[in-house]
């Protein structure tokens, strides 16, 4: 009887260890994906044109894709795809795990690891993510994306492609094409990341799955906050000057709330509000409700910079705003369309 109990205990411990290891693996992969995107954004002369990032419905990051070749070559990697809500037009949603694989033939010898970034440029490409798998170049058109500060130099083939691909090579191979590579959702990785069974369609299309804490740095970077390491934002006068609340004698955490609307007065749902502590650099973000309202609660007393941004709109960043213990600041934003 004791032996049986001992075996059951060992199996339980092994199961817990596997779960912890799987979660740690996802955290490391998310960190690597964040670093890949940051590295590309930090090199605007040789990176992805911002206008293409703004137009994309989804973005996939597959860090450190392994390619090996000894006469017959193979390729495998795992990463994440994030999509905009509201059919590719709203705020960025949570990540869904995917794998990238494919084979190649030819006289080859060597090994390399390459980071890939995929831009899904229209709803048609976005819908491919719901399939069990799809092949780049066969089931969906793919082209090597243009690089630089502007997409104006893109060729006709690049502008009509459903997916644009970018790479950052760290090994012996360069200029690797993605024609024939297979992209498929990874249910096991999603289960490990979210701690429960979730479907790619609920994460990417329905947008009903909350972002796990380990993925927040990646989502902040997608949302335009810049560096993974928090930096002091440059103060910019908001279109609607904030009206600081009156001093409060209350104690405890405070809050910042308000309304986001456009030049016509129409409210903007799914706008991203980022609140950054001026002293510590720590940031928190929320999205506006369907009525355009937002609230960032449980804030310690201090000075905060608030940034509001939405798809197709010019972002606004406030100067530092003081928040007292137990106080409430109401900051409204009027966002203008990008010129």
The domain that holds 272 is classified in CATH as 2.60.40.1120
pLDDT value at position 140?
86
Same domain membership, residue 205 and residue 58:
yes
According to DSSP, residue 230 is labeled -
Strand partners, 65: 114
pLDDT score of 122 more than 80: yes
pLDDT score of 20 more than 50: no
25 pLDDT band, cuts 50/70/90, is confident
8 token code pair? 């059951």
14: in domain: no
Residue 235 contacts residue 320 (beta carbons within 8 Å) = yes
Best mean pLDDT range from 58-72, 104-118, 132-146, 220-234: 132-146
Distance CA 86, CA 104 (A): 37
Same domain membership, residue 204 and residue 132:
yes
230: in domain: no
List the single range of 169-173, 176-180, 282-286 with lowest mean pLDDT.
169-173
pLDDT higher for 232 or 30?
Answer: 30
Region of 60 on the Ramachandran plot (φ > 0 left; ψ -120 to 50 alpha; else beta): beta
Same domain membership, residue 274 and residue 173:
no
The four Cα atoms 259, 235, 300, 267 give a dihedral, to 10 degrees, of: 10
Q: What is the mean pLDDT of residues 25-32?
A: 87
Range of the domain at 290: 254-335
Number of domains making up the chain: 2
123: in domain: yes
Burial 261-286 (b: 16+ CB within 10 A, else e): bbeeeeebbbbbbbbbbbeeeebbbb
pLDDT score of 337 more than 70: yes
Q: In the predicted model, what is the mean pLDDT of the chain?
A: 75
Angle between helices 187-194 and 2-41 (to 10 degrees): 100
Same domain membership, residue 259 and residue 218:
no
Q: What count of Cα atoms within 13 Å lies in the side-chain half-sphere of residue 275?
A: 26
> Largest Cα–Cα distance in the chain?
76
Residue 172 contacts residue 209 (beta carbons within 8 Å) = no
List the single range of 175-184, 231-240, 264-273 with lowest mean pLDDT.
231-240
193: in domain: yes
Distance CA 189, CA 101 (A): 15
pLDDT value at position 185?
92
Same domain membership, residue 147 and residue 48:
yes
Enclosing H/E stretch for 111: strand 92-120
Residue 97 contacts residue 189 (beta carbons within 8 Å) = yes
């Amino acid at each position: 009887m004791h032996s049986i109990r001992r075996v059951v205990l060992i199996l339980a411990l092994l199961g817990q260890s596997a779960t912890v290891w799987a979660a740690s693996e996802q955290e490391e992969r998310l960190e690597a994906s964040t670093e890949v995107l940051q590295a590309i954004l930090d090199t605007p002369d040789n990176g992805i044109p911002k206008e293409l990032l703004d137009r994309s419905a989804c973005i996939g990051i597959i860090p450190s894709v392994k390619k090996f070749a000894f006469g017959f070559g193979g390729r495998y990697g795992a990463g994440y795809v994030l999509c905009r809500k509201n059919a590719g037009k709203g705020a960025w949603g949570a990540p869904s795990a995917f794998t990238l694989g494919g084979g190649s033939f030819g006289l080859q010898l060597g090994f390399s690891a390459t980071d890939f970034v995929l831009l899904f440029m229209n709803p048609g490409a976005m819908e491919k993510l719901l399939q069990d798998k799809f092949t780049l170049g066969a089931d969906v058109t793919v082209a090597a994306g243009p690089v630089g500060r502007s997409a104006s130099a893109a060729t006709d083939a690049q502008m009509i492609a459903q997916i644009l691909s970018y790479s950052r090579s760290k090994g012996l191979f360069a200029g690797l094409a993605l024609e024939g590579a297979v992209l498929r959702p990874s249910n096991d990785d999603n289960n490990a990341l979210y701690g429960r069974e979730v479907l790619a369609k609920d994460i990417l299309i329905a947008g009903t799955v909350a972002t796990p804490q380990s993925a927040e740095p990646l989502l902040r970077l997608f949302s335009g906050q810049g560096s993974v390491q928090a930096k002091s934002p440059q103060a910019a006068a908001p279109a609607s000057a904030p009206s600081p609340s009156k001093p409060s004698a209350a104690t405890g955490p405070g809050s910042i709330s308000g309304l986001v609307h456009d030049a016509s007065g129409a409210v903007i749902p799914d706008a991203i509000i980022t609140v950054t502590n001026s002293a510590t650099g720590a940031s928190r973000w929320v999205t506006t409700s369907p009525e355009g309202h937002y609230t960032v609660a449980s804030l310690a007393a201090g000075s905060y910079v608030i940034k509001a941004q939405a798809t197709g709109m010019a972002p606004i960043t406030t100067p530092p705003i003081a928040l007292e213990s137990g106080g409430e600041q109401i900051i409204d934003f009027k966002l203008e369309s990008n010129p």
